[in-house]
Amino acid sequence: MKKIAFMKFSGAGNDFIVVDNRERVVDSKRMMTFVSAVCRRHLSVGADGIIFIEKSRKYDFRWRFYNNDGGEASFCGNGARCAARFALLKRIAPKSMRFEGSSGVMEAEVNQEQVTVRVPDPTAIGLHLRVPIASTMRRKTDVPGAAPTVGEHGMVLEGHVIHTGVPHLVYFVPNTGTAEVIGIGRPTRYHELFKPAGTNVNFAQVIDRNTIEVRTYERGVEDETLACGSGSLAAALLAALVHKVESPVTVIPLSRMPLTVTFERKKDSFTNLTLTGEARAVYEGLMRPEAWEYSLR
């Protein structure tokens, strides 16, 4: 391979490498190992994931998103916004665009650093799910749910599930600052209830009728991230069902860079979902073969 051009983006704290792959500079058979190598922090460029922009016969472009473990995911809300900003900057698409991916067709509107994407309707909504977690006793403020069942061998937590392009479970907590994002998030992500694919795990605090705070343990990154677009969508919609939160919802992630979620609610279903926030173009350059070659030998 030759040097590969790329741009680095931050979408409300989620960082992504974006590559124009319309001419197949990265072969699809090598994407998994390429992604896992290039996303490794300290050893390569480093990112939460990589976005490949490809040709589309019907829309402005097609996008493919990979988490930093090399696994391809069907959707990433902040990634979609960064893909749209990249497409405008590289004159691949106009300010108002349509692009396709594994989760369907999305529309985007780019207004300088602010990008809005209209995303497919959510599915698989389930409320008040009991989740047994084998864990030691934690402080009351760390535990999701108003009255979790705590026993000798762990606890049973109350969570809520939704599919916003990818699966999410949301725990509502009294204080995101003391939430056990790793201690509870990791065993939940791999819980037998969500096999085989697993789930993303969000810890949400309702501030008022139009504001929530969210922290996320992200599947594929296998750690807490500074933000999660699909998780922001999931938390906002479930907060509307469980805590009567209303659109528009300002979502404050760990990065403190706000996202806005809008929707139309019809009883227990939602339509016309949008996600708005900053998609910051941080830098661009050329990756040399040392960025990935050690994993492709």
Domain boundaries, the chain: 4-115+281-295, 123-278
Residue-wise pLDDT for 143-189, tens only, equals: 565 445 555 457 899 999 999 999 999 999 999 999 999 999 999 99
Mean pLDDT of the region 239-248: 97
Predicted local confidence at residue 134, as pLDDT: 83
Residue 106 binned pLDDT confidence (cut-offs 50, 70, 90):
very high
Mean pLDDT of the region 243-250: 98
Give the CATH number of domain 123-278: 3.10.310.10
Pick the CATH number of 4-115+281-295 from 3.40.50.2000, 3.10.310.10, 1.10.1060.10, 1.20.990.10: 3.10.310.10
- As given in the structure block, the two tokens for residue 134 are 């084998």
Residue 293 binned pLDDT confidence (cut-offs 50, 70, 90):
confident
- Mean pLDDT value across the chain: 92
- 295 pLDDT exceeds 90? no
Cα–Cα distance, 22 to 26 (Å, whole number): 10
Sole residue written with tokens 């473990």: 69
Cα–Cα distance, 265 to 106 (Å, whole number): 19
Per the CB < 8 A criterion, the answer to whether 145 and 208 are in contact is no
Nearest Cα to Cα of residue 232 among 219, 211, 183 = 211
More confident position, 141 or 51:
51
Active site residues: 76, 228
Residue-wise pLDDT for 116-131, tens only, equals: 999 999 999 999 999 9
Residue-wise pLDDT for 28-54, tens only, equals: 889 999 999 999 999 999 999 999 999
CA distances from 7 to 70, 99, 175 (A): 18, 19, 36
| Residues facing residue 54 across a β-bridge | 62
Predicted local confidence at residue 148, as pLDDT: 54
| Per-residue three-class SS string for the chain | CCCEEEEEEEECCEEEEEEECCCCCCCHHHHHHHHHHHCCCCCCCCCCEEEEEECCCCCCEEEEEEECCCCEECCCHHHHHHHHHHHHHCCCCCCEEEEEECCEEEEEEEECCEEEEEECCCEEEEEEEEEEECCCCCCHHHCCCCCCEEECCEEEEEEEEEECCCEEEEEECCCHHHCCCCCCHHHHHCCHHHCCCCCEEEEEEEEECCEEEEEEEECCCCEEECCCHHHHHHHHHHHHHHHCCCCCEEEECCCCCCEEEEEEEECCEEEEEEEEEEEEEEEEEEECHHHCHHHCC
Same fold, 4-115+281-295 and 123-278: yes
